[in-house]
Structure 1
Amino acid sequence: MSESVVTDTGDKDPRHESREGRNVFGRIALFVRQVVSQLRLVVTPTRHEWIRLIGVVLAFVAVMMGLSFVLDLVFGWGVSKVFGA
């Protein structure tokens, strides 16, 4: 009973077809139709958005490289103090 309450929202969207009562080829065709309908929703970023996103990724990578470098220096210094050099 509780599972049906959780899974049944009551909203029946006509775009979402049921796979019940379909053979293998019908399910494959349904899958392909759903994939195509989802691909139509994809929006390609503009040139300005691409440049901004690439900048964000490069900045993140640079920050992480700096953090790794500093942690490597600190741990190396700590190990040399504990075990001697």
Structure 2
Amino acid sequence: MAKANESEKSVKPNVFMRIGLFIKQIIDEMRKVVAPTGKEWAGWSVAVFIFVVLLMVVVTAMDFGLGQLALRIFG
């Protein structure tokens, strides 16, 4: 039974080794990241701005419409 415990300990790395492996994997993945070009950055910024404006219009219309509906129902 002593050999089973020894092999189990040798397979399982300690906390500091696991943290080090995790940080190494993060760095390896970050090296794969490709930064967007200025043109891509501007395009996505415009797209997000338009989406937010449309979402604001939808929410404002719903607020106004439901407010009018509540006024007609309750008074």
Do Structure 1 and Structure 2 share a fold, with TM-score over 0.5?
yes
What is the CA distance between 1:27 and its match in structure 2?
Answer: 1.1
Per the alignment, residue 64 of structure 2 pairs with 73
The one-letter code matched in structure 2 to 1:45 is P
Gapped regions of structure 1 (runs ≥ 5):
1-19
Q: Find the aligned partners of 1:21 and 1:68 in 2 and give their Cα distance.
A: 53
1:53 is matched with which residue?
44
Rg bigger for which structure?
Answer: 2
Amino acid at match of 1:44: A
Unaligned stretches of 5+ in structure 2? 1-10
The percentage of aligned residue pairs carrying the same residue is 35
Report the 3-state secondary structure (helix = DSSP H, G, I; strand = E; otherwise coil) of the residue aligned with 1:42: coil
Return the TM-score normalized by structure 2: 0.79
Q: Paired residues, what number?
A: 65
Aligned letter for 2:58? L
Higher RCO, 1 vs 2 (CA within 8 Å, ≥6 residues apart)? 1
Moved over 6 A (4+): none
Could you tell me which of 13, 19, 25 is aligned with 1:22?
13
Mapped to 1, the partners of 2:63 and 2:20 lie a distance apart of 54
Higher helix fraction (1 or 2)? 2
